[in-house]
A = this chain, B = another copy of it.
Amino acid sequence: MLNFKFSIPTEVFFGKGQLKVVAEQVRRHGGTRALICYGSGRVKQQGIYDAVCAKLAEKGISFCELGGIEPNPRIKSVRDGVKIVKSHDIDFIIAIGGGSVIDCAKGIAVGARYDGDPWDLYLRKGEVTGALPLGVVLTLAATGSEMNGTSVVSNLETKQKLPIRMPFLKPRFSVLDPVYTYTVPPRHTAAGTVDIMSHVYEQYFSTVSGTFVQDRLAEALLKTCVAYGPVALREPENYEARANLLWAGTLALNELLTYGKTGDWGTHMIEHALSAHYDVTHGVGLAILFPAWMEFTLEKQTCDKFHALAVNLWGVAAGADRMAVAREGIARTRAFFSSLGMPTQLREVGVPEEALPAIAKTTVEFGEVGVYRKLDEKMVLEILKRAY
């Protein structure tokens, strides 16, 4: 186990009706003029947007809005937000939505404290020196962004999807009300479940040994996804299923699983390149890519983790042929994603085969990716071909 510093300053208000704390929390963190960021019309249809506005008005907090933030949020939306922030002297950002809205809001939060183009910050051409405080109202179980310091933003012109990670980007508070996820459409419920599991996998497959406690915690979250993903699809208004998925999604990427170890994140890097080129839903891309990465990565030397996953998560009987057990675990992973209605091949989501080399090239733009198995351009291309 590696040394680590545990520091999770985000306060989470979890459960039915927790939206009531929003305005007092904004005030508590010094907010007087807020920018409300959101994406789809769902937050307006559900009345979440109006409820937040009413609470802010009650406390004398003025606000303006940036709506229509797209999935795989674009740097253009970040730029638009920064303009509003600077022209309206905004001192607090509120994100209502899922990972895309939160990540965009984080981009605006750092962009507000930077004089140049915010895309510079993602390119490491500019230095992130501070951020406006941020609060979240989460509407989708998937991202983890509601409790971590990461922002991932896309630039469709340059076909790049790049992250910023800063401790001070962790939201000051996040409201997690499972009821807000009742109206998530089936495809996004499924993609969100895959996203959570993928976040866990990225941290599970680590080259650091002796992390028994972290690995068992990881399996606990995976079991939760396997138990409740199908229930949430069948019964969208099942509170228990939505609550367990929502909390699992947050715990999957709030650093709990990664303290004391390093993650892999190779598959995420491939997916980022994929969706920078073809704007595929993140969780859908991961559902296709992760089994392919697993098959590519499984070897005698890497077998232990795959074997543990097969036995502990999927209940495959441990046997003398450890590689066979490991392969069965991968097959179960793919079958589970498929049972959620996820595509299993890139050809199903409109990616042309001739695009694979360009996606591979973008993946390794800043060097090899992955840790559990380091991947160069050729290896990435092989994974993409397997996934095709």
Contacts and interface: CB of A to CB of B under 8 A. Distances in A.
A220 B15 CA distance: 24
B243 A210 contact: yes
Interface string A1-25: 1111111111111111110000000
A250 to B, nearest CB: 8
B11 A7 contact: yes
B9 A9 contact: yes
Interface in A203-233: 209-213, 216-217, 219-221, 223-224, 227-228
Contacts of A8: 8
Which of the four size classes fits the interface of chain A?
Answer: 35 or more
A251 interface: yes
A15 B3 CA distance: 4
Contacts of A224: 212-213, 216
Contact of A212 (B13, B213, B217, B228): B228
Given A213-B248, A244-B212, A4 B11 contact: no
The copy count of this chain in the complex is 2
Given A1-B240, A219-B220, A213 B14 contact: no
Contact of A11 (B5, B16, B247): B5
Contacts of A49: none
A3 B14 contact: yes
A5 B21 CA distance: 11
Interface string A179-199: 000000000000000000000
B5 A13 contact: yes
A239 B217 CA distance: 20
Nearest to A242: B1
Contacts of A3: 13-18
A244 B7 contact: no
Contact of A260 (B2, B13, B14, B18): B14
A259 interface: yes
Contacts of A211: 244
B11 A6 contact: yes
A1 B213 CA distance: 24
Q: A1, A9, A211 — which one has the most chain B CB atoms within 10 A of its CB?
A: A1
A99 to B, nearest CB: 19
A317 to B, nearest CB: 12
B210 A240 contact: yes
A223 B228 contact: no
A8 B3 CA distance: 19
Given A12-B5, A18-B3, A240-B210, A247 B228 contact: no
Given A219-B220, A220-B220, A210 B244 contact: yes
Interface string A226-265: 0110000000000110011001100100001001100000
Interface string A45-82: 00000000000000000000000000000000000000
Interface of A: 1-18, 209-213, 216-217, 219-221, 223-224, 227-228, 239-240, 243-244, 247-248, 251, 256, 259-260
26 contacts: A3-B16, A3-B18, A5-B12, A5-B13, A5-B14, A6-B12, A6-B14, A7-B12, A9-B9, A209-B240, A210-B240, A210-B243, A212-B224, A212-B240, A212-B244, A213-B221, A213-B247, A213-B251, A216-B219, A216-B220, A216-B221, A216-B224, A217-B217, A217-B251, A247-B259, A256-B256
Given A3-B13, A213-B220, 15 more contacts: A2-B15, A3-B14, A4-B15, A5-B12, A7-B11, A14-B260, A210-B244, A212-B240, A213-B224, A213-B244, A213-B248, A216-B221, A217-B217, A217-B251, A247-B260
